[in-house]
Structure 1
Amino acid sequence: MPDYDPDPLCQDAVVIGGGFYGAAIAVYLAGQRGLKRVVLVEQESALMTRASYNNQARVHNGYHYPRSFTTAYRSRVNLPKFVRDWPLAIKQDFTKLYAIARRNSKVTARQFERFCRDIGASIQPADPGLKALFEPRLIEDVYRVEEYAFDTAQLSSWAARELQDSCVQIRYQTRVTSILKGAQAPLQVVMQTSQGHQDVIACRYVFNCTYSGLNQMAGDFPGVSAGLKQEITEMALMQLPASLSDLGITVMDGPFFSMMPFPARGLHTLSHVRYTPHLHWNDQQEINPYQRLDRYERDTRVDRMLRDVGRYIPEVLKAKYIDSLFEVKTVLLKNESDDGRPILFERHLELPGCYSVLGGKIDNIYDVLETLEAEKFFGSDNQGKC
């Protein structure tokens, strides 16, 4: 017999996943769509401790995607909104540089300039002093651009405040195990706490925002139809020398690297296209990505990153390695060739009222919210009946 109430009070919506997307969707449903009973379920003990934290902390402005015009343009549209809506989380007090490699780059400097003009992104030649940081035999040109970083600690504080003000109930250290077609309610969400206690929530709507865990629910949940690729990745946290500490740098476009401020720790992330991904596989329901990450030997590749980056920017060899952030990164298989990062927003027709959401970048949240605007939602009555 189950150790949960077989006839629970019906909730309006259950959002699975307490990352930035899950929190923002829960706040949106409660604050703008009038759903009064919203529950957020998070496997960790706090909000935004997984992929929302363990990443490059970049608010994109389109420069990074010369091979995906749609992704680049959406970033250009979304960045001003993100700066407007989360000003306390935005770090702007650094100079952002994009450099084009002479060899093995998939775009030339001239092509990059034309691309930036096409998407309306600000670009200007870097000052001679900044350009002098780069090895001219390997770098064709260097540009000063407008791009920012975000502070996950600030975003987490915002989420906690807004969820409380919106009366969203949060269940921490709780994992959703299955989603079922309900008998008395449209849907039932079966959960298990870290202490092993099982519970169920009856609800009208479910939003699966579990990122790498999208396909890890059992029951009647059909899984997402899009193919997913999982990667175990490493972001090296570095203390940069004074000559680089006020900079963010990206070398384009191919097997190169980025250094970005990481405001939550007062450091910089160092990522490398060749060395940041440690392991990858096509997503399968029987392979739990987070369990695979837990079992993975987290041997840093920072020495290899620095050795290659130092050829392009010799000053980086003075940097001090502090730590590494290991996480599972999830991307759509269809976008591997063009490096695009669209959202995945899927309505599960076999399970009406159930949605799966995957964001490629933090600013994609506006693409999700715009999509949700077209959906019709109905709340439960005052007695909690569906």
Structure 2
Amino acid sequence: MRGRDAIIIGGGFYGLRIALHLRQKLGFRSVLVLEREPQVMQRASYVNQARVHNGYHYPRSILTAYRSRVNLPYFLTEFADAIVDNFDHYYAIASRLSRTNGRQFELFCDRIGATYEPAEPRAMNWFNPQMVESVYLVTEPAFNSVTLRSILLDRIAAVGGISVSTSDEAFHVEQAGSALSVHSSTGIHKAEVVISATYSRLNDLHRSSQVAVIPVQHELTEMALVELESPFAESGITVMDGPFFSLMPYPDRGMHTLSHVRYTPHHRWRESGTEPFSPRPSTELESLPEKSRFREMYADVLRYVPALATMRQVDSLWEVKTVLTKSDKDDSRPILFKPDHGLKNLTTIMGGKLDNVYDVLDELSSYYA
């Protein structure tokens, strides 16, 4: 496909990294990125736990965990300036309601080649021994999403041949002879290849383009932004494997995010194409709940880590989180890659984690080379 033109719908991390791959590795002549928001990487690429996954999070999905392990070194090398690893990260196994016990977690880590060690006594003393059976020190950094965006935009400017159009919503795609036309806020754009990387809005585009809906589940989510005192300010804590919580450094704001399996989702709904009505993710995000669930999250945190009593909420981050419907059962995060989805050379892509973008790039190389 050398010498071809491409349009990428969606200026998140995936859209920008794919644009670079098409230009640098696959020889596309030009790439246009259309982004609905005023700035790229402003939605799900910014509002997330900022965790660079090393596999620990997915003991019930070996494939997801293994792919995280494989892709981690590539992400750390490519985006070294965005990586934040100046904190200790602990995974605690709850003694009740966890689907994984301590021994199973160790065997799982051994199987995927992820390093771990028992937490030191100082950290063990943070946890309620009646609620937590074991705690492990692991290697799993965070990233600064603003730095990540700057790296990508600097590379795009240096490479040339990539245009990024913001505040430019793509409404629908249609066949135009051997090419595809994308109707957007700024007009009609044509290219031989169109890639949809719109994440939660993928089915909005599919419906308007009269192509098949992808079965997904959406959640309107809240992550609390909190301030922590030392030594927690220099730590990350994940309690698993069930209806528990994570506290992760959020480098761009100099705070931590608090997310909770039970309380972070305020509302969830499914799209399968058979519903008489399905809310649009963008509409749901604009109609935020009036009440934060931080108090519920906070109360549960203290059951497991009483020493976090001084934690203070500063703000909340809201976003629509989208996963494939089947992922709800095993917590997996497979990559969606659908070439020729209803239209020749329309490819739909959705990734569950930023650091697994390399699996997408491999698929693109195989398909468009």
Q: Does 1:256 align with 2:249?
A: no
**What is the rounded CA distance, in whole Å, between the counterparts of 1:348 and 1:162 in structure 2?**
29
**What is the rounded CA distance, in whole Å, between the counterparts of 1:341 and 1:288 in structure 2?**
22
Q: Does 1:133 align with 2:122?
A: no
User: Which portions of structure 1, spanning 4 or more consecutive aligned residues, are displaced by more than 6 angstroms?
Assistant: none
CA RMSD of aligned residues (A): 1.5
**Which residue of structure 1 lines up, in the alignment, with residue 193 of structure 2?**
205
Which of residues 218, 222, 229 in structure 1 aligns to 2:211?
222
Q: Does 1:79 align with 2:78?
A: no
Deviation at 1:315, TM superposition (A): 1.9
Secondary structure at the counterpart of residue 20 of structure 2: helix
More helix per residue: 1 or 2? 2
Deviation at 1:296, TM superposition (A): 2.6
* Structure 2 length-normalised TM: 0.95
**What is the rounded CA distance, in whole Å, between the counterparts of 2:325 and 2:134 in structure 1?**
32
**Which residue of structure 1 lines up, in the alignment, with residue 293 of structure 2?**
301
Return 5+ residue gaps in structure 2 as ranges. none
Q: Does 1:365 align with 2:354?
A: no
**What is the rounded CA distance, in whole Å, between the counterparts of 2:358 and 2:25 in structure 1?**
14
**What is the rounded CA distance, in whole Å, between the counterparts of 2:138 and 2:289 in structure 1?**
37
Q: Does 1:61 align with 2:49?
A: no
Deviation at 1:219, TM superposition (A): 4.9
Deviation at 1:348, TM superposition (A): 2.6
**Which residue of structure 2 lines up, in the alignment, with residue 7 of structure 1?**
none
Q: Does 1:174 align with 2:144?
A: no
Which of residues 8, 29, 35 in structure 2 aligns to 1:36?
29
Deviation at 1:145, TM superposition (A): 0.5
Secondary structure at the counterpart of residue 229 of structure 2: coil
Secondary structure at the counterpart of residue 342 of structure 1: coil
**Which residue of structure 1 lines up, in the alignment, with residue 185 of structure 2?**
192
**What is the rounded CA distance, in whole Å, between the counterparts of 1:264 and 1:298 in structure 2?**
25
Q: Which one-letter code corresponds to 1:174 in the other structure?
A: D
The answer (yes or no) to whether the contact 2:79–2:148 under 8 Å persists in 1 is yes
Q: Deviations over 1:269-324 (max 9, x none)?
A: 00000000000001267532111210232421001000000111112220111100
**Structure whose alpha-carbon radius of gyration is higher:** 1
Secondary structure at the counterpart of residue 217 of structure 2: strand
The answer (yes or no) to whether the contact 1:342–1:364 under 8 Å persists in 2 is no
**What is the rounded CA distance, in whole Å, between the counterparts of 1:349 and 1:263 in structure 2?**
37
The count of residues paired between Structure 1 and Structure 2 equals: 361
Q: Percent identity?
A: 44
Secondary structure at the counterpart of residue 58 of structure 1: coil
Return 5+ residue gaps in structure 1 as ranges. 1-9, 194-198, 378-386
Cα gap change, 1:170 to 1:122, in 2 (>3 Å): same
Alignment map for 1:153-168 (pairs within 5 Å): 153-167=146-160, 168=162
Cα gap change, 1:99 to 1:164, in 2 (>3 Å): same
* Structure 1 length-normalised TM: 0.91
Q: Which one-letter code corresponds to 1:275 in the other structure?
A: Y
Q: Deviations over 1:150-189 (max 9, x none)?
A: 1000111012112222221111101000100003x42100
Secondary structure at the counterpart of residue 232 of structure 2: coil
Q: Does 1:352 align with 2:326?
A: no
Q: Deviations over 1:68-93 (max 9, x none)?
A: 00000001111111101100110011
Deviation at 1:259, TM superposition (A): 0.3
Secondary structure at the counterpart of residue 28 of structure 2: coil
